[in-house]
Chains A and B, each alone.
Chain A
Amino acid sequence: MYHFLLFVHVLTAFCMAATIVIYSAFALGAPATDRTTFIAERLWDVGGLGTLVFGVWLSIYVDGIEIWNAWVIIALVLWFVAFGLQRQAYVAMNASGSPTGTTLLTPDRAGLSRFNALRALVFVLLLADMIFKPWA
């Protein structure tokens, strides 16, 4: 059970990372359609929900980890910050409105670059917190 929880927790974290890489390409000028953005967004949703649910589950299931451990609380705070930044990146991504089909989006690239870079930074901090486990 532990290994399954850990596998899904880590796999969903990879989904979040994939969204950041995809958004980075868009921020650097790669053309984005609403379809590719939709898939990137769903990867983020699945990744975000999965890391949270299975992360909390792990903290309850594993002896020696408690939800009130400093590194777990830090992770939860960073997770919420990352989701707030995702919302901002999404708004910048869809600055042109809601085209349909394969219409190219014309994002606010400055806003997209800023919020995606901040989100990437927060995600790296989240990963560091998971591995270094400060005050554990």
Chain B
Amino acid sequence: MGIATFVGDRPHSWDFPLFLHVLGAMTLVGGVVLTLFFLVGAWRGNADAIRLALRSIGLAVLPGYIVMRGAAEWIYSKEGWDKVDPSPNWLGIGYGVADFGILLIGIAALVAWLARRQGGTGIAVRIAALVIGFVLVMDVVAIWAMTTKPV
């Protein structure tokens, strides 16, 4: 069931990379929520909110992603998953969400940046907001996969 891992059978050497992984993920998800806030604000007519959305991607989403992704590699190696073939599904979901998610965040940032250059709050902002909203849904799926660990 995985309870033993939760209770404390996990070697202490895994704790710090796991801590960094979760802390990075929380910063990332918080940044995604904040970015969505600002993009919805831009969608509703506040053009200056696009600048804040781009800033929240730069100051919260990207640093959180780097810490989360780097620590994921660290704990992946420590737990010995690189020697397991095939990898379990929950790992695949995690990697998929992380790698596809950062691509979508990059696309949303590019679209928002272009919208800002045009000074508008039109369709481009809506696309960026929808993409970031989708990333947030993916993040919830990743949290589900990381905690429930489906085979």
Contacts and interface: CB of A to CB of B under 8 A. Distances in A.
Interface string A53-87: 00000000011110000000000000000000000
B138 to A, nearest CB: 13
Contact of A127 (B22, B52, B56, B144): B22
Nearest to A16: B26
B34 interface: yes
A7 B147 contact: yes
A31 B23 CA distance: 26
* Size class of the A contact interface (CB-based, 8 Å): 20 to 34
A127 B2 contact: no
Contact of B2 (A3, A10, A63): A3
B8 A136 contact: yes
A2 B1 contact: yes
A49 interface: no
Given A21-B27, A36-B37, A136-B8, A7 B143 contact: yes
Nearest to B32: A18
A18 B29 contact: yes
Nearest to B20: A131
B30 A20 contact: yes
Contacts of A110: none
Interface residues of B, number: 34
B84 interface: no
Contacts of B19: 127-128, 131-132
B52 to A, nearest CB: 5
B144 A14 contact: no
Contacts of B7: 62-65, 136
Contact of B60 (A4, A21, A65): A21
B23 A3 contact: no
5 contacts: A14-B30, A18-B29, A19-B30, A36-B41, A63-B7
Interface of B: 1-4, 6-8, 12, 15, 18-19, 22-23, 25-27, 29-31, 33-34, 37-38, 41, 52, 56, 60, 140, 143-144, 146-149
